[in-house]
Each structure stands twice: as structure tokens, then as C-alpha cells.
Amino acid sequence: ATAGGAATETAEVDAEASETTADGDGGDEASKSKSKSESGSGSSTGGKSETKRDDIASVRVDVDRLDELYGLVEQLVTSRIKLRREMDDSGIEKSENLDELDKISSNLQNTVMDMRLIPLKKVVNTFPRLVRDVARDQEKQVDFDIEGEDIELDRTILTEIRDPLMHILRNAVDHGIESPEEREAAGKSPEGHIELTATRERDHVTIRVSDDGAGLDVERLREKAVEKGVRTEAELAEMSDSDVYDLVFHPGFSTSEEVTDISGRGVGMDVVHSTVKQLDGTVSVDSEEGQGTIVSLRLPVTVAIVKVMFVEVGGTEYGIPVKNIEEIARARDVRTVNGREVIEHDDEIFPVVRLGEVLGEMPDGGNVGATAATD
């Protein structure tokens, strides 16, 4: 199991009872159940038999075994890719059987990926109490809503984002929502509102935590950035309000004059940012002073699959994540400027980075792979 997951954790997997199989003792039990069902139904083929099949519409699988299954599928997919590339390199004609293997392994991979998905409600079901308890401690009135709790994510992602989401909610109650007296003085309802919404777009899920509180004071953020040495006044002058809001993700950055027990629970906004980034996601803040704040997390549905482009240097193969590749083009007219190799591409100059030198691999046949690096 991954971080935060117990070894005894189980996942529920849907399956047709008539197609369910098991090994070992489980297989014997399945046979006994089937025999008992058949003998109990007699010659009837009606509703009672159907009811018993519906009763076994799902099975519980230990998460460790699910991870083991996925590991085997990964090995199968890797072996399939290697076989395909070896055939291409050898000039062997395409095989219909190999095409069929490609299709089957891809379907198997997608099926196992779907088995790892868990609804968001498994994580957020305790959040209403969290918000209620923090609001009570702060003597504030807060209404909390959740939308999209049936959206599914990889269980690894759900495990990792639980604490960051809890911190964002604590911040919303502690620093965002004003006291009833302050809200009434500002012409607002004495009861603040916080909403957590989740939406899915293709292979990504966006989770937003919004509140109708005091919002962020952008000028105060700018002052604090200079005071803490995070940015200079000249740099801040070139930054938009949106960029300034993102400074809250800088380690140790806060505009609050006091540290409370509520939001000081070991997970700061900088940790929220780093956690989401490690999951190959993004996080941003949008705010309007006096109106409220929205924190948005954009996350992949799953982190188990990474598409890569294979390159070979010195007889060794490496995989470069496709998401980190901006463009693929043939390097022409490599020049030397100020002692460094560069190429011109789309009217821009890029430094050349030779993979053999970076990876410590000796090139075969005198050819060294090169790539243009961009920031």
C-alpha cells in the first residue's frame, strides 16, 4: 500500500457473479455457494436465482493485491512495447497477432486503472465535521457544502490530498470567514459560506474550495513579500495580482500576524503546493478583497501511467516523459556562441544539451544525441 494506506485496506470491485472465479479456499466456497443456490432453486429459473446472482455483484480485494496486479500489468505493457520495437528494428512485417496483443493489453491496463479509482466522498465525508468544529472554536457561523463527491480519483491521489484539503478548509474558516459581527458590519450575512466542488474534464479533476470571506489583501501581500525578501519592489511592480496571490505558496509566507492552533497543523500552503506538484497537478489562488477566495487544485485522475518517449544513448535506453516535451524537431546548423553550442529554432536561440554528457553514457558510432533545453 502507498503512504497513508494500511496493509489491510480493501477495495470493492464490481464483477458479474456468473463470471466470478477464485483460487484456493475461495474457489471451494464459490463452488459450494453455487451448488447450494442451484439445489435451492430446484427446477425454477425465475426471480430467486436472479436475486442470488445479484447478491454477489461485488468482491472485496486487498489493496496490496490490487497493486500487485497493476505491477504485473505494467510489466506486460513494457514487454509488449519492447517486443514491438524489436520487431520494427528488425524489419519484421507487422503481425495481426501482435496488434491483437496491443489491443488486449491496453484494455487490461485501462480496466486495472479503473479498479484503482475511488470516489472523492471516501475522503471528504469527514470534512463537514472538521469545518463545524473549527467554526465553533473560532465562534464563527459557517455553512459548508460539497458538490461532486462522486467524482473518482486514483486512491493514491486521494490519500495524498487529504491533508492539503483539510488545511485549505481550516484556512478558509480561520483566516477567510469573518466573525458574525464583522460580516454584518460589511453588509454580509452573519453566516459565512464555504463550498468544495469537484469536476472532471477528460483525464483531470479540478477541486475548488471557495469562501465568501474577507479575501486576500493584495497590497498587504506585496508589502509582506518585500519584508520577507521573497520579491523585490521592482519584481512586484511587474507582477499581476494573480501572480502575487500565488506568493502564498512560498515557504513560510503568511500575512497573518499570529499563528493559531487551527491552521498551524504541520501542513502549510507551501506543502499544499509541493504535494500537488508531486502528483503532477497544479494549484492556484484567486481572490477579491471583501468578497472571498478560491483555491483550485487541478489533478490527474491517476498517476500510475506516464507516457514516455524512448531515446537511446550509448546502447542504453531512457524514457523521457511526454508531458515534459514541448516539441520534437531535428537539430540543424548547430553553432557555437561564446563557447556554447546553440541552435536556432522558430527565430529563437536554444542551448544544446548532449544527452551522452549529461547521462554519462559513451555514444555508439560517434553520434551523440542532443536536445535543446528550455526553461
Give the model confidence (pLDDT) of 274-288 as tens digits: 999 999 899 999 999
pLDDT at 8: 39
Neighbour count for residue 200 (Cβ, 10 Å): 14
Q: How far lies 253's CA from each of 65, 152, 223, 224, 228, in Å?
A: 42, 33, 12, 8, 8
Task: Report residue 144 as a C-alpha cell.
Answer: 459548508
- Residue 264 reports pLDDT greater than 80: no
| Within a domain: 51 | yes
CA torsion through residues 300, 1, 70, 107, sign: negative
Considering the domain architecture, whether residues 237 and 291 belong to the same structural domain is answered as: yes
Lowest mean pLDDT of 124-138, 271-285, 305-319, 342-356, name the range.
305-319
* pTM confidence score: 0.67
- Same-domain status, 324 and 334: yes
Across 18-22, 87-91, 322-326, 361-365, least confident range = 18-22
Give the CATH number for residue 219.
3.30.565.10
Contacts with 249 (C-beta within 8 Å, 6 or more apart), sequence order: 269, 270, 272, 273, 283, 285
**Within a domain: residue 3?**
no
Q: Is residue 81 located within the same domain as residue 133?
A: no
Residue 2 located in a structural domain: no
Cβ within 8 Å of residue 170, ≥6 positions away: 130, 134, 262, 263, 265
In a domain, 5, yes or no: no
Q: Which of 275, 300, 325 is the last residue of a domain?
A: 300
Question: Which residue, among 293, 310, 313, 289, has the nearest Cα to 222 in the 3D structure?
Answer: 289
Predicted pLDDT at 35:
42
Looking at the fold, whether 289 and 335 belong to one and the same domain comes out as no
Assess whether pLDDT exceeds 70 at residue 126. yes
Percent of the chain with pLDDT over 70: 77
**153 & 184 share domain:** yes
Looking at residue 260, its amino acid is T
Structural domain ending residue among the three candidates 282, 300, 318: 300
Do 203 and 322 share a domain, yes or no?
Answer: no
Count other C-beta atoms under 10 Å from residue 167's C-beta. 22
pLDDT digits (tens, 9 = 90+) for 75-119: 898 888 888 888 887 877 777 888 888 899 889 988 888 888 999
pLDDT at 129 > cutoff 90 = yes
Number of domains in the chain: 3
**Beta pairing, strands 292-300 & 117-119:** unpaired
253 and 356 belong to one structural domain: no
> 149 and 223: one domain?
yes
| Residue carrying the nine cell digits 501542513 | 267
Q: Final residue of a domain: which of 117, 133, 161?
A: 117
User: Distance between CA atoms of 120 and 162, rounded to whole angstroms?
Assistant: 10
State which residues form the domain around 71.
Answer: 10-117
Assigned domain for 316 exists: yes
**Domain check: are 290 and 324 in the same one?**
no
Asked if the structure places residue 1 within a domain, the reply is: no
In a shared domain, residues 271 and 354: no
Quickly state the pLDDT bin for 328 (edges 50, 70, 90): confident
- Which range is least confidently modeled, 38-47, 110-119, 246-255, 343-352? 38-47
67 close to 1: Cβ distance less than 8 angstroms: yes
Kindly state whether residues 181 and 323 are assigned to the same domain.
no
32/180 same-domain check: no
Residue 4 lies in a domain: no
In whole angstroms, what is the distance from residue 191 CA to residue 75 CA?
54
Structural domain contains residue 334: yes
